[in-house]
Amino acid sequence: MMEIITAEQLMEYLGDYILDAKPKEISEIQRLNYEQNMSDAMAILHKLQTGLDVNVKFTGVRVFEYTPECIVFDLLDIPLYHGWLVDPQVADIVKAVGNCSYNQLVEKIISCKQSENSELVSEGFVAEQFLNNTATQLTYHGLCELTSAVQEGELCVFFRNNHFSTMTKYKGQLYLLVTDQGFLTEEKVVWESLHNVDGDGNFCDSEFHLRPPSDPETVYRGQQDQIDQDYLMALSLQQEQQNQEINWEQIPEGISDLELAKKLQEEEDRRASQFYQEQEQAAAQVQQVQGAASPASARQSGSNERKRKEPREKEREKEKNSCVLL
């Protein structure tokens, strides 16, 4: 019954859900394993406000390198997909990419370029071309695999270009939840179809009926604002990765779930406050750069300032020349 929910409230709800979802009748080993996963998930829960570190592998739509961030999706039972796959029919790319994750492939390309072995140099070139040609992080083979893997009516998360989107499947077609700022006033636009790799899908309402935006120009400006915000968020995420994680060894043994949740919430609030401060600083830096990049506007402002000063000087001159009757 709430129209607006803050990020802090959402984090609190997710934390409570993870604590309440703890299995009751499990073995001691399973309990310890679950509690460790729960602690790892709580430690990175605050990153949901900025971004999670996930690393795709190019062999399957559900294949990611294991990172602590992936535990959140497991505990919440939310399927995580991507569509950045290598076409198995292209043998040279399959050989060049292999079973590497994205980070491993970048390191491999750098290593191959520095090698004196011509075969390795060629392999590195093929891998680099693959990354360049699939910069949208979605291939048609991946799109076909996604369409087959996602179940009808399933709610899941789709990862692409460092973004997480809510995805569902309706009558065999994939749809992404529209969340860009440009659609804030578009009450009828809810879903966007995902049917090609270029990103120009069709917009639909909540019943999946076609609903084009009423004002494309407003939508474009809002999307540009969203891109700017994403840039600031990326800067904050980069800073966030440099921060220290919670030292779990310092937490006393035998602490209750409630006390643990309170400690985690305090740490989460502190980091959220720090994130917003960094975001404001980054926004101020962007504004300074934009202001420095437009000298014409500065000159115009200066001329306007002189125009404003001139009448004032004339008024002061009049006051000097005028006489006062007592």
Confidence of residue 326 (pLDDT cuts 50, 70, 90): very low
Q: Tens digits of per-residue pLDDT, 3-15? A: 888 988 988 898 8
pLDDT digits (tens, 9 = 90+) for 175-221: 999 988 778 888 889 999 998 888 778 899 999 999 877 666 655 55
Q: What is the pLDDT of residues 24-36, one digit of tens each?
A: 788 888 888 888 8
Q: What is the 3-state secondary structure (H, E, C) of the chain?
A: CCCCCCHHHHHHHHHHHHHHCCCCCCCHHHHHHHHHHHHHHHHHHHHHHCCCCCEEECCCCCCEECCHHHHHHHHCCCCEECECCCCCCCHHHHHHHCCCEHHHHHHHHHHHHCCCCHHHHHHHHHHHHHHHHCCCCECHHHHHHHHHHCCCCCCEEEEECCEEEEEEEECCEEEEECCCHHHCCCCCCCEEECCCCCCCCCEECCCCCECCCCCHHHHHHHHHHHHHHHHHHHHHHHHHHCCCCCCHHHCCCCCCHHHHHHHHHHHHHHHHHHHHHHHHHHHHHHHHHHHHCCHHHHHHHHHHHHHHHHHHHHHHHHHHHCCCCC
Mean pLDDT of the 258-275 span = 66
pLDDT at 238 over 80: no
Return mean pLDDT, the chain: 78
Q: 304 pLDDT band (50/70/90 cuts)? A: very low
Give pLDDT tens digits for 96-127.
999 999 999 999 999 998 888 989 999 999 99
pTM of the model: 0.65
Q: Which residue has the higher pLDDT, 18 or 158?
A: 158
Picking from 159-163, 237-241, 285-289, which range would have the lowest pLDDT averaged per residue? Answer: 237-241
Q: What is the mean pLDDT of residues 294-299?
A: 44
What pLDDT does residue 301 have?
43
pLDDT attached to residue 244: 46
> Could you tell me what percent of the chain has a pLDDT over 70?
66
Residue 148 pLDDT > 90, yes or no?
A: yes
pLDDT of residue 226: 56
